[in-house]
């Protein structure tokens, strides 16, 4: 019987790798969902890794394969909220857009994601995001693009002439970083009740648009 061709072997290898990636993604998603469900009922501090593993139906060894620490699951929750906003931005950039409308839509998506969790958990997530950033800076690692909500928007706005001509390409990452900082601080203050009846998206959209206007009109 003839042995499989190299192309057939390569095709099987690719299918196997795709299947393994899909399983890996699904397992990670199950762990995050189990953790979030427990945190909503038991609270973050009192939920252990063993609790999460039992709820997800996996071993501790498998948990630690995906997440070195319990806090890393918390960081993943923040990444998921950011990614929902990134998807909203990407969709809106496929047609004519204005910066303020895109920022508002992204932050509304982010707020909907936050609102599904207790306010205390939102604050813990923001604080873990800061700790994660400090670890990256200490290790000299490159920035984590999963947490960069506005890079695509401001890069596109620069190319489309929606930022001032004096705004250099090198200014875009810093502008995106400042806007992301406003999101983090805004989320923390929103969760603490500092915005009163105003929505997170309303307040932080105004803040970010003021920042962009300052960049656009500076001498």
pLDDT tens track, the chain, 219 positions: 545 565 544 444 444 444 344 457 888 889 999 999 999 888 888 999 999 999 999 999 999 999 999 989 988 888 888 999 999 999 999 999 999 999 999 999 999 988 988 898 999 999 888 888 888 878 776 666 567 899 999 999 999 999 988 888 889 999 999 999 999 999 999 999 999 999 999 999 999 999 999 988 766
| Phi and psi based region of residue 183 (left: phi greater than 0; alpha: psi -120 to 50; beta: remaining) | alpha
Q: Where in the chain is the domain with CATH 1.10.357?
A: 69-219
Q: Where in the chain is the domain with CATH 1.10.10.60?
A: 1-68
pTM of the model: 0.80
CATH superfamily of 1-68: Homeodomain-like (1.10.10.60)
8 A C-beta contact, residue 164 and residue 213: no
Q: CATH number of the domain at 69-219, please?
A: 1.10.357
**Measured distance between the N- and C-terminal CA atoms of the chain, rounded to whole angstroms:** 77
């Amino acid at each position: 019987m003839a042995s499989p061709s190299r192309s057939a072997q390569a095709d099987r290898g690719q299918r196997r790798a795709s299947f393994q990636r899909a399983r890996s993604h699904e397992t990670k998603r199950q762990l995050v969902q189990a953790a979030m469900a427990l945190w909503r009922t038991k609270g973050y501090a009192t939920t252990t890794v063993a609790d999460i593993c039992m709820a997800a139906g996996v071993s501790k060894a498998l948990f630690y394969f995906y997440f070195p620490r319990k806090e890393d699951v918390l960081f993943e929750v923040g990444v998921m909220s950011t990614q929902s906003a990134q998807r909203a931005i990407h969709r809106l950039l496929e047609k004519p857009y204005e910066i303020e409308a895109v920022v508002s839509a992204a932050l509304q998506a982010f707020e909907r994601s936050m609102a599904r969790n207790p306010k205390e958990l939102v604050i813990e997530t923001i604080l873990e995001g800061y700790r994660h950033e400090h670890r990256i800076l200490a290790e000299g690692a490159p920035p984590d693009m999963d947490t960069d909500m506005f890079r695509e928007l401001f890069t596109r706005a620069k190319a489309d002439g929606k930022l001032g001509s004096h705004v250099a390409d090198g200014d875009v990452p810093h502008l995106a970083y400042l806007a992301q900082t406003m999101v983090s601080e805004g989320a923390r203050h929103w969760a603490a009740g500092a915005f009163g009846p105003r929505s997170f998206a309303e307040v932080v959209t105004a803040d970010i648009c003021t920042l962009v206007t300052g960049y656009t009109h500076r001498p």
